[in-house]
Chains A and B, each alone.
Chain A
Amino acid sequence: MYVYDEHDRQMAAERVAQFRDQTERALAGELAEDEFLPLRLQNGLYVQRLAPMLRICVPYGMMRSDQLRRLARITRDYDKGYAHFTTRQNVQLNWPALEDVPDILAELAEVEMHANQTSGNCIRNTTTDQFSGVQSDEIADPRPYCEIIRQWSTFHPEFAFLPRKFKVAVNASENTDRAAIQVHDIGLQMVRNEAGEIGFRVHVGGGLGRTPMVGPVIREFLPELDLLTYLEAVLRVYNRYGRRDNKFKARIKILVKALTPEGFAEKVEAEWQHIKDSPTRLTPEAIQRIQAYFTEPDYAELDNATDLLASQRFENRGFDQWLTHNVDTHKKPGYAIVTLTMKKTGTPPGDVSDKQLEQIADLADEFSFGEVRVTHQQNVVLADVRQDRLLELWQAITPMGFGTANLNTLTDVICCPGGDYCALANAKSIPVAEAIQRQFDDLDYLYDLGNIDLNISGCMNACGHHHVGNIGVLGVDKKGEEFYQISLGGSSHHDASIGKILGPSFARDEMPKVISKIIDVYVDKRTEEETFLDTYRRVGIDPFKERVYA
């Protein structure tokens, strides 16, 4: 994992001092509300329905145990003793006091954390696959490139006041896209060219929100050394020509659409020709230097514990289910990737208490070289667990509530904080998630249904990524009452697609029943091997419509 050097430490400390000064000027009335707004947003600070909300950056989802413990302490000292894992691999505090935020940032800086650019119209945290570095089908570990982008984008003087927020995601797996890159402003798919050199296929202009779009490819192969100059060219074109007259038309996807992907690509190429050989061009040494932080941990030489696991599974059905659903194959023999689910029914998806944060830190130290990864599905991954210790781990996490074996099933809901916390929301989202989780409490039935992405957003801003859920739920406001619109057929994976709206929206108490009807149609229509998405794509939306609105 990346470790700060004296330069990073110095800039982090300077940033804390700057934000302290900005906060003091705001509290003294020297900064008007609209002048302070972008300054605090660029430090992750929202003023929300009930209190400010502070979004803390977790660069590409990676955290160390000492950072988790510091977060736990911060939630105790400055908040109500819990935090929320977001759908962009970050962490949020829901109740900090404005005047405490500089002190919180100082405490974070001590453990190499910050809240830079977690909101506002700037380049946000770069996200990636939570299985980076431990899966066997990746082109190369994407995290060094994410760190290179993090450094380039941090306090970038030209791009601090873009037309709108800007999100970059990187994916390195050839077969899976856990980073949902095609619904980002820039999606970078790592590829190798015919000569075997590493580069990126560049998607620009994907996104959710009011105008959901799958990002078109604007460059098939970008050599790795050209990464930053090319990003700079894309951002410059966007900064100059993106719309600023209408907030809802200001994302880069609208510009790409207006110019056409080909027209946009030409503009970027023309800009890039001027700067591609500038000193911003990466060097092999610069990449190697960052890669050196992401070397393999000190793995033991092991064989796969196939026999041991087989007998343990045979003796324990709960362990068997968990192994099947929440544990993934590791590139290293004898190791496994474990996902701790933060989706226990009755707890808002992604919420963790201070105690749980410390438990996760202890688990990381005990089982996984002291590191964890936060996923955009709001779960936490222990990436390097010995197979012969999986049973021990499962026994430890079950009473903690992290062992619910529902990963990727219908009840592994992605959900924004919604109207319970967020000032932007039109409707509550957490109670809908909970009602659906209660309706589908039979694990065997969930397994039989297979992988289904159910994503819930409380408003058009789509923090719950509802457009790309196989089943998407969007909270809407109808004359002051909360209703929920359903869409079907979305996907955030390699076969990315935007869901189609089923029809008129529903009241909250109707939702579990409506979801049940949708699931029933799938069960009736599916063939043996089909997932929910496969069936939907084959039969279309009509059978679902007929059943739900019958």
Chain B
Amino acid sequence: MPNVISPDGSIRQDNWVVVPRPAEGESLDIPADQPALIPADLWLAGYEHFTGREDIGVWFDSHDEPEILDGHVNELPVIAVNFPKFSDGRGYSIGRLLRERFGYVNELRAIGDVLLDQLQFMKRCGFDAYVLRADKDITKAQKCLNFFSQGYQAATDTDIPLFRRRAS
């Protein structure tokens, strides 16, 4: 059961399972008794079957195009974005696009190589649930989410850049 960090640093547990992309010719191995995150394109391929289900969410890999879900994002209870390596920054753009362009309002979860010092960026880019890599000290998440009290730019967390706040 993963520990899930919230933007305020608090920690909860849930039982969402990330279902890996099946090998060529294999089918999706969705657990019967747990909510599952499946590759986004496969959710779309099985749209009739999956849409509206509270126990099925999707995940994107960092090279995936979130554009494929345009118009459908809010049919999903959870969307996860995988950071295959913490230094792969594509997930930040995916997060912002899902929130700011496609208007996604439900949970946006960071999975994969999620480390403490990247949480602050994920938070600003619209992620509101973080599954920290298991070997990292989860008690330090709250501190690492809150080093900064403000930012210069607009992002998902605020659409008012500092230059507009200064003017008001």
Contacts and interface: CB of A to CB of B under 8 A. Distances in A.
A278 B117 CA distance: 28
Chain B CB count within 10 A is highest, among A11, A161, A162, A285, for A161
Contacts, number: 108
A11 B88 contact: no
B167 A161 contact: no
B102 to A, nearest CB: 11
A33 interface: no
B58 to A, nearest CB: 19
A159 interface: yes
A478 interface: no
What is the size category of the interface that chain B forms with chain A? 35 or more
A31 B166 CA distance: 37
A121 B87 contact: yes
Interface stretch (B3-11, B44-52, B73-81, B143-151): B143-151
Nearest to B96: A158
Given A21-B143, A285-B167, A160 B148 contact: no
Given A279-B159, A289-B166, A157 B87 contact: no
Contact of A286 (B88, B150, B163): B163
Given A38-B87, A280-B161, A289 B93 contact: no
Given A21-B147, A152-B153, A279 B164 contact: yes
Interface of B: 86-90, 92-93, 96, 101, 115, 117-118, 120-121, 123-125, 137, 140, 143-144, 147-155, 159-167
26 contacts: A7-B162, A10-B150, A11-B150, A15-B147, A18-B148, A22-B117, A30-B137, A35-B86, A151-B162, A152-B153, A154-B152, A155-B152, A157-B121, A158-B89, A158-B121, A159-B89, A159-B92, A160-B92, A161-B88, A161-B89, A244-B88, A280-B154, A282-B163, A283-B163, A286-B167, A289-B167
Given A148-B163, A152-B153, A283-B167, 10 more contacts: A18-B148, A35-B115, A152-B161, A155-B151, A156-B152, A240-B90, A283-B163, A286-B163, A286-B166, A286-B167
Interface of A: 5, 7, 10-11, 14-15, 17-18, 21-22, 25, 30-31, 35, 38-39, 121, 148, 151-152, 154-162, 236, 239-240, 244, 274, 278-280, 282-283, 285-286, 289
